[in-house]
């Protein structure tokens, strides 16, 4: 691939050798290039964690905020400047744990953003505690007797909330991942892409081989418009289906319904506040 | 009380009586006190009376006991008094609720079937409000009848009343307008009869100028200030007493092109606001102490991102849920010290409607120019109080957008002499805008270069110098000598001013702080002159006193504090300031 517009050149990357993040990184840059997106029109928003460092490794605008809080600023950025391409990208702990409430409400709002979640079923940056998606029995220095709770199911949750685009990829299938990312970024509305990836340092259970053995592609004929069927597939496990589970087109986005965009598409920073209107408002208080 | 000026009678209660007439409406939530209040304040102002209104209420939708104070005056008035000249109890509990404020001279107008007057507590004028309302169409018109009675006591004609009632209930349908008109008229006639017979006299003259004045409350003033400051984005989570600002902006969102989003929680609200500023909007969050506590990490993020941010915090008593619908000034320390790490900030505290407009507008420009979080600190009393004012000047409050078009070489955190790097926004220019919550290099990318880290800390903190230089000076009232100097901040301003006027003592001065942090260097100049400095605040520990001492190095010798959930009153301050002169303070 010749187009390297999103490459940062020589940079020091903080991920462990063999980390699944590398495959997502390369695939994301290729996807963005192939979609013809201009770096200065792209904003990568993230929280905190190893996956959340991604924006620093891509030539783009970056909003690297607080742990768990990528979705609120991503929603607001799109609302303030709808011409931007906005991707909120982080890990399973950040998006589903610390940021779980925002996850639910971002789906409800349906902003035109893409939500990429690196799902390795473990906390990496804090060195190996359970994540909301860790499977029962997974032992860590904190979960010494093994995880006992039901793992968080992001796809089923998103479909239950009638999200407009819900997909799962795996770093072991890069072509499929690119295809899914392209569709997600092109989708008008909120798009969730949960990506299975191995953590080579802290998850000895859900390894690359494990994911490979425990996943399979959704069949060609899967009906993406059937919510109940999509939900049924989303609760399948061992093996987990991969692909685009559910899509709803033509749903109004959060930002298009906002008061500033009734008559104009101008981003907020290009607008001038209306003094005459304000003076009239103040004068109207004389009639009180 | 020897400190009162010559000619004043013993006790402040008598001093204020001449100028104005104090009406208190009291009843259960859901009884329609608010309607009585709205009718009376508007018709009185329209007829040419100066008015001030404020309310205290319980945290419940029905029942309980709530009261509204309306001061009707010949001259501008903007502070609460304890004194009740006329009480309109809509139920019997009202008399117990207000027991301490009902004097032998208080006139009580009420339905004899509903209330039982207490011996020695006021002069009772029975008016069969319920029967009159029922004759007009039903008991539910009782509040309109009550408003009519009070209107009848004033120099208002029946035609004026009819026109007003028609306009006030104009949006309603069917017999509602007519029934209200009849109910109001019945009350009005009863009120006129009380006035004609000399049983109830209202010693207040009209001032025609008041009729054309602007009438609004603190919440609307903050909202207007936000609009003047170019606010185009509000993300908030409802919380008393801050919600009224959210409602105001939502009501005007279409007209002014504002994004108003009710966030899922305060954490989302502040993080949305930061995302909005990043993308070029001018964002506001509006909350109260508890909600702001949830926002603290976001505030710290503003510090690290060097993002502008405007936080309106309407205070109420804490800790925790505290008294949700009451007032206090307990969150100064919260905003001064909120957020982990070290970064500059600015805190305004309006004391009048004019200041609420100008300081809120200013907050947006200060935040944008210096790339710091700026607070507008108000409280429940301020949000819910209103009065008429001749002008709300908008001159000089233009929104100044401090953003630059970026070049490919753009670096968001480039070192500049004054610490303020030009602020680019994504999509405006050919550069990239990288904002990072980790310690970062000039570009915005993560760094653990510790030398660079120290320079970045210095860069961020260097803005404090300019913020201090630009700080609004305190406003002096009274004697220039400042021998005895009262200091106050925020919503207490008008109350202290009126108390000061009443005391009228030489060598007594009052310094109002519209900006509480950083303090203007002028503060120390005034405080140095004083022999005695007394801080008046709505909290139990004297938070501003401690701040003033820390900032000026001059000891604050006395404190007058109130922390029961109610605002100070004029009489209370006259008395408590007096005690300090007598050496009892």
Q: How far is B368 from chain A (nearest CA, A)?
A: 12
**CATH code where residue B250 lies:** 3.40.50.970
Both B241 and B336 in a single domain? yes
CATH superfamily membership of A21-259: Thiamin diphosphate (ThDP)-binding fold, Pyr/PP domains (3.40.50.970)
Percent of chain A with pLDDT over 70: 99
> How high is the pLDDT of residue B15?
43
DSSP-derived secondary structure for A72-141: HHHHHHHHH-TTSEEEEEEEHIIIIIITHHHHHHHHHH--S-EEEEEE-SB-TTTTS-B-TTPPTT---S
Contact A151, A188 (CB under 8 A): no
Q: In a 3-state reduction of DSSP, which class is residue B323?
A: coil
Written as one string, the DSSP assignment of chain A is ----TT---S----SPTT-THHHHHHHHHHHHHHTT--GGGEEEEE-SSSGGGGGGGSSSEEEE-STT-SHHHHHHHHHH-TTSEEEEEEEHIIIIIITHHHHHHHHHH--S-EEEEEE-SB-TTTTS-B-TTPPTT---SSSTT---SPPP-HHHHHHHTT-SEEEEEETT-HHHHHHHHHHHHHSSS-EEEEEE---TTT-SSS-HHHHHHTEEEPPTT--TT-HHHHHHHHT--SSEEEEEEEE--SPPPTGGGSGGGTT----GGG----HHHHHHHHHHGGG-
> Domain end: B436, B468, B500, which one?
B468
pLDDT band at B584 (very low <50, low <70, confident <90, very high): low
A125-139, B19-33, B260-274, B508-522 — which is least confidently predicted?
B19-33
Domain co-membership, B84 together with B178:
yes
The whole-angstrom separation of Cα B302 and Cα A106 is 22
Name the A residues in 10-39 with CB < 8 Å from any B CB: 14, 39
Q: pLDDT at residue B515 above 70?
A: yes
pLDDT at residue B4, as a whole number: 39
- pLDDT tens digit string along B243-279? 999 999 999 999 999 999 999 999 999 999 999 999 9
Over residues A72-124, the pLDDT tens digits come to 999 999 999 999 999 999 999 999 999 999 999 999 999 999 999 999 999 99
DSSP B182: H
> Does residue B11 carry a pLDDT above 60?
no
pLDDT digits (tens, 9 = 90+) for B315-364: 999 999 999 999 999 999 999 999 999 999 999 999 999 999 999 999 99
pLDDT at B3 over 80: no
User: What values do phi and psi take at A37, rounded to 5?
Assistant: -80, 135
Q: Which one of B182, B211, B240 terminates a domain?
A: B211
Mean pLDDT of A227-256: 98
Instruction: Specify the pLDDT at position B1.
Output: 35
Domain identity same for B496 and B453: no
Q: Does A66 touch chain B (CB under 8 A)?
A: yes
**In terms of residue numbers, what domain contains B308?**
216-389
Whether B41 maps to a domain, the answer reads yes
Same domain membership, residue B235 and residue B189: no
Q: Which residues of B touch A41 (CB under 8 A)?
A: 426-427
B532, two tokens: 């005695």
Q: How far apart are CA B391 and CA B354, in angstroms?
A: 8
Task: Work out the pLDDT band at B10, boundaries 50, 70, 90.
Answer: very low
Nearest beta carbon to residue B401 from set A45, A269, A283:
A269
CATH for B75: 3.40.920.10
Mean pLDDT for all residues in chain A: 96
* Pick among B53, B214, B402, B426 to test the A interface (most A CBs inside 10 A): B426
The pLDDT of residue B9: 37
Residue B171 lies in a domain: yes
Quick one: pLDDT at residue B504? 87
How close does chain A come to B583, measured CA to CA in Å?
46
The reply to whether residue A102 touches residue B264, judged by beta carbons under 8 angstroms, is yes
Nearest-angstrom CA–CA distance, A181 and A169? 9
Please report residues of A whose CB lies closer than 8 A to that of B446. Answer: 14, 53, 56, 64
Asked if A285 is an interface residue toward chain B (Cβ–Cβ < 8 A), one would say yes
Least confident of B26-30, B65-69, B191-195, B301-305: B26-30
- Same structural domain, B491 and B535: yes
Here the CATH number for the domain that contains residue B484 is 3.40.50.920
Q: What does R_g of chain A's alpha carbons equal in angstroms?
A: 20
- Within B291-415, strands assigned E span 309-315, 346-348, 373-379, 386-389, 404-406
Number of domains forming the structure of chain B: 4
The C-alpha of A114 sits at a distance from chain B's nearest C-alpha, in angstroms, of 16
Chain B nearest-CA distance from A13, in A, is 11
Q: Are residues B411 and B354 in the same domain?
A: no
Copy the structure tokens of residue A99. Answer: 């940021």
Nearest to B427 among A41, A76, A283 (CB): A41
Whether residues B322 and B197 share a domain: the answer is no
Distance from CA of A161 to the nearest CA of B (A): 15
Q: Do A39 and B432 touch (CB under 8 A)?
A: yes
What average pLDDT does range B291-295 have in this prediction? 98
- Across the interface, of A259, A279, A285, the residue whose CB is closest to B215 is A285
Which among B228, B433, B436 has the least Cβ separation from residue A278? B228
Lowest mean pLDDT among A204-208, A273-277, B123-127, B238-242: A273-277
Q: A189 in the Ramachandran plot: left (φ > 0), alpha (ψ -120 to 50) or beta?
A: left
Residue B289 lies in a domain: yes
SS (H, E, C) B503-528: HCCCCEEEEEECEEECCCCHHHHHHH
Pairing assessment for the beta strands B309-315 and B259-262 based on DSSP bridges: unpaired
Residue contact B233–A80, C-beta within 8 A: yes
Contact B298 A69 (CB under 8 A): yes
Q: Does A40 touch chain B (CB under 8 A)?
A: yes
pLDDT of residue A70: 98
In a domain, B397, yes or no: no
Q: State the pLDDT confidence band at B585, using cuts at 50, 70 and 90.
A: low
Looking at residue B60, its pLDDT comes to: 86
Per-residue model confidence (pLDDT) at position B18: 55
Average pLDDT value for residue range B421-442: 98
Q: Is residue B49 part of a domain?
A: yes
Which of B220, B257, B301 is opposite residue A66, by nearest beta carbon?
Answer: B301
Residues B268 and B298 in one domain: yes
**Minimum CA–CA partner of B296 in chain A:** A66
Under the banding of pLDDT at 50, 70 and 90, the label for residue B29 is confident
Residue of A nearest to B432 (CA): A61
Residue with tokens 């009819």: B162
Interface probe with B: pick from A9, A55, A65, A274, most Cβ of B within 10 Å:
A65
Residue B1 belongs to a domain: no
Decide if B378 is inside a domain.
yes
Question: Is residue B433 a contact partner of residue B410, using CB atoms and an 8 Å limit?
Answer: yes
Q: Structure pTM?
A: 0.96
**Which of B36, B138, B129 has its CA nearest to residue B91?**
B129
Single residue among B423, B452, B468 that ends a domain in this structure: B468
- Per-residue pLDDT, B62: 86
Indicate if B290 and B382 belong to the same structural domain.
yes
pLDDT digits (tens, 9 = 90+) for B43-96: 999 999 999 999 999 888 888 999 999 999 999 999 999 999 999 999 999 999
Judge if B257 and B351 occupy the same domain.
yes
Percent share of chain B, pLDDT over 90: 89
Rounded mean pLDDT, A55-59:
98
Specify the higher pLDDT residue, B388 or B417: B388
Q: Measured between alpha carbons, how far is B473 from B484 in angstroms, rounded to an integer?
A: 19
Q: Do B214 and A282 touch (CB under 8 A)?
A: yes
CB pairs < 8 Å spanning A and B: 202
The strand pair at B233-236 and B214-217 is best described as: unpaired
B173 and B230 part of one domain: no
- Which of B261, B275, B444 faces A74 most closely, judged by CB atoms? B275
* A73 to B445: CB separation less than 8 angstroms, yes or no: no
Same domain? For B526 and B441 the reply is no
Q: Please report, for residues B277, B308, B338, B457, the alpha-carbon distance to residue B341 in angstroms, rounded to integers and kept in the order given.
A: 21, 17, 9, 10
């Amino acid at each position: 691939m010749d187009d390297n517009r999103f490459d940062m050149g020589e940079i020091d990357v903080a991920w462990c050798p063999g980390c699944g993040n590398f495959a997502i990184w390369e695939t994301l840059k290729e996807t963005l290039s192939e979609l013809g997106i201009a770096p200065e029109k792209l904003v990568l928003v993230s929280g905190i964690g190893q996956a959340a460092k991604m924006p620093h490794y891509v030539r783009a605008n970056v909003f690297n905020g607080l742990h768990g809080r990528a979705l609120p600023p991503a929603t607001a950025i799109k609302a303030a400047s709808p011409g931007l391409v906005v991707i909120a990208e982080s890990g399973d702990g950040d998006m589903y744990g610390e940021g779980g409430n925002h996850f639910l409400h971002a789906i409800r709002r349906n902003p035109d953003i893409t939500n990429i979640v690196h799902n390795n079923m473990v906390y990496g940056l804090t060195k190996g505690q359970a994540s909301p998606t860790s499977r029962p029995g997974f032992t860590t220095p904190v979960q010494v007797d093994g995880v006992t709770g039901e793992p968080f199911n992001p796809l089923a949750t998103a479909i239950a909330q009638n999200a407009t685009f819900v997909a799962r990829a795996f770093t072991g299938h890069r072509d499929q991942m690119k295809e899914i990312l392209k569709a997600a970024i092109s989708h008008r509305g909120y798009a969730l892409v949960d990506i299975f990836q191995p953590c080579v340092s802290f998850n000895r259970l859900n390894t690359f081989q494990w994911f490979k053995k425990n996943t399979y592609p959704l069949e060609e004929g899967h009906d993406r418009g059937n919510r109940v069927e999509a939900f049924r597939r989303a609760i399948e496990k061992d093996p987990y289906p991969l692909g685009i589970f559910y899509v709803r087109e033509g749903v109004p986005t959060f930002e298009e319904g906002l008061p500033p965009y009734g008559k104009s598409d101008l981003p907020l920073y290009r607008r001038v506040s209306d003094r005459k209107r304000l003076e009239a408002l103040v004068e109207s208080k004389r009639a009180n | 009380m020897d400190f009162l000026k010559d000619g004043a009678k013993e006790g402040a209660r008598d001093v204020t009586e001449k100028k104005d007439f104090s009406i208190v409406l009291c009843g259960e939530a859901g009884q329609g006190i608010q309607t009585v209040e709205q009718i009376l304040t508007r018709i009185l102002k329209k007829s040419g009376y100066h008015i001030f209104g404020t309310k205290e209420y319980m945290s419940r939708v029905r029942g309980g006991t709530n009261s509204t104070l309306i001061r009707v005056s010949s001259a501008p008035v903007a502070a609460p008094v304890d004194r009740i000249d006329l009480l309109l109890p809509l139920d019997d509990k009202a008399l117990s609720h207000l027991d301490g404020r009902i004097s032998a001279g208080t006139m009580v107008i009420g339905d004899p079937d509903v209330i039982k007057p207490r011996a020695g507590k006021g002069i009772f004028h029975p008016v069969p409000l319920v029967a009159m309302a029922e004759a007009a169409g039903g008991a539910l018109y009782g509040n309109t009848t009550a408003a009519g009675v009070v209107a009848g006591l004033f120099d208002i004609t029946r035609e004026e009343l009819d026109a007003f009632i028609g306009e006030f209930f104009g949006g309603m349908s069917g017999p509602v307008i007519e029934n209200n008109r009849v109910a109001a008229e019945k009350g009005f006639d009863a009120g006129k009869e009380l006035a004609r017979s000399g049983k109830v006299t209202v010693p207040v003259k009209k001032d025609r100028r008041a009729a054309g004045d602007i009438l609004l409350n603190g919440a609307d003033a903050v909202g207007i200030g936000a609009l003047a400051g170019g606010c185009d984005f509000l993300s908030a989570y409802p919380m008393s007493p801050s919600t009224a600002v959210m409602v105001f902006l939502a009501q005007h969102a279409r007209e002014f092109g504002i994004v108003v989003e009710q966030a899922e929680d305060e954490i989302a609200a502040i993080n949305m606001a930061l995302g909005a500023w990043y993308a070029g909007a001018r964002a506001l969050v509006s909350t109260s102490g508890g909600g702001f506590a949830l926002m603290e990490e976001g505030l710290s993020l503003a510090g690290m991102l060097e993002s502008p941010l405007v936080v309106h915090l309407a205070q109420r008593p804490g800790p925790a849920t505290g008294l949700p619908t009451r007032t206090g000034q307990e969150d100064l320390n919260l905003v001064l010290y909120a957020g982990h790490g070290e970064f500059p900030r600015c805190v305004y505290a309006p004391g009048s409607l004019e200041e609420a407009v100008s300081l809120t507008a200013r907050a947006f420009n200060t935040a944008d120019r210096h790339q710091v979080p700026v607070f507008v600190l108000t409280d429940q009393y301020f949000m819910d109080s209103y009065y008429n004012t001749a002008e709300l000047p908008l001159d000089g409050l233009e929104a100044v957008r401090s953003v630059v078009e970026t070049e490919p070489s753009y670096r968001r955190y480039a070192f500049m002499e004054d610490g303020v790097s030009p602020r680019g926004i994504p999509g405006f220019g050919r550069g990239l805008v990288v904002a990072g919550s980790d310690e970062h290099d000039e570009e915005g990318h993560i760094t653990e270069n510790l030398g660079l880290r120290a320079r970045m800390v210095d860069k961020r903190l260097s803005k404090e110098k300019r913020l201090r230089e630009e700080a609004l000076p305190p406003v002096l009232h009274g004697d220039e000598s400042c021998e005895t100097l009262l200091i106050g901040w925020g919503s207490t301003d008008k109350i202290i001013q009126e108390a000061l006027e009443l005391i009228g003592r030489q060598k007594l001065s009052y310094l109002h702080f519209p900006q509480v942090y950083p303090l203007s260097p002028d503060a120390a100049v005034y405080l140095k002159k004083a022999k005695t400095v007394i801080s008046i605040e709505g909290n139990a520990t004297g938070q501003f006193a401690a701040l003033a001492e820390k900032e000026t190095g001059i000891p604050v010798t006395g404190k007058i504090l109130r922390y029961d959930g109610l605002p100070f009153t004029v009489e209370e301050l006259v008395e408590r300031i007096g005690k300090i002169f007598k050496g009892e303070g």
